[in-house]
């Protein structure tokens, strides 16, 4: 088949191949169920906290602008790039759903949930394949050793 490999699958495979030499590799993303639950939060109910966060964020943005405008160019990086990449919606290039003016938090979390759930199922499948390969390799490597142990046990029982 001419089935292509997704970027997600390639990244996961690369990470698992790198970790193959070590013990079991921990799942590197939030649990999909946690992301799903986050998508269910009604952020309108948290308006007071969100207003305070917005004020705090505005202060931070003003501080970032001040640092960027007052700093010499040679001292500006990597600070400026890190601060500009902070917005997840911009970072991931998300667009609002049709008929909506902006990307909602539930939309962001549901996309993240779908990604995490798919990644987790592939992660488990790949870890299972790696474990099976390790087992087969160890079994094939130790086959002569097991045979010798059986012979020694037989000889000891005969004596």
Return the DSSP state at 101.
S
Res 150: pLDDT: 61
**Which stretch of DSSP H or E encloses residue 13?**
helix 7-19
Count the Cβ atoms, other than its own, within 10 Å of residue 108: 17
Residue 159 confidence (pLDDT) above 60: no
Give which of 32, 38, 2 is closest to 123, Cα–Cα: 32
Q: pLDDT tens for residues 73-113? A: 888 888 877 776 567 777 778 888 888 888 887 788 888 88
Q: pTM to 2 decimals?
A: 0.44
Q: Mind spelling out the 3-state secondary structure of 114-125? A: HHHHHHHHHHHH
Q: Mind spelling out the 3-state secondary structure of 50-75? A: HHHHHHHHHHHHHHHHHHHHHCCHHH
Residue 44 confidence (pLDDT) above 50: yes
109 token code pair: 């979390």
């Amino acid at each position: 088949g001419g089935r292509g490999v997704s970027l997600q699958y390639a990244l996961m495979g690369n990470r698992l191949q790198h970790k193959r030499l070590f013990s079991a590799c921990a799942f590197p993303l939030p649990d999909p169920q946690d992301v799903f639950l986050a998508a269910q939060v009604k952020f309108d109910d948290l308006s007071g906290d969100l207003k305070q966060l917005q004020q705090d964020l505005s202060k931070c943005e003003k501080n970032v602008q001040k640092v960027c405008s007052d700093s010499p160019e040679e001292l500006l990086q990597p600070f400026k790039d890190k601060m500009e990449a902070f917005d997840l919606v911009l970072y991931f290039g998300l667009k609002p759903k049709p008929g909506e003016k902006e990307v909602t938090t539930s939309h962001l979390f549901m996309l993240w949930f779908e990604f995490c759930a798919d990644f987790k199922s592939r992660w488990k499948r790949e870890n299972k394949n790696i474990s099976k390969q390790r087992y087969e390799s160890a079994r094939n490597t130790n086959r002569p050793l097991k045979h010798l142990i059986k012979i020694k046990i037989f000889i000891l029982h005969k004596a």
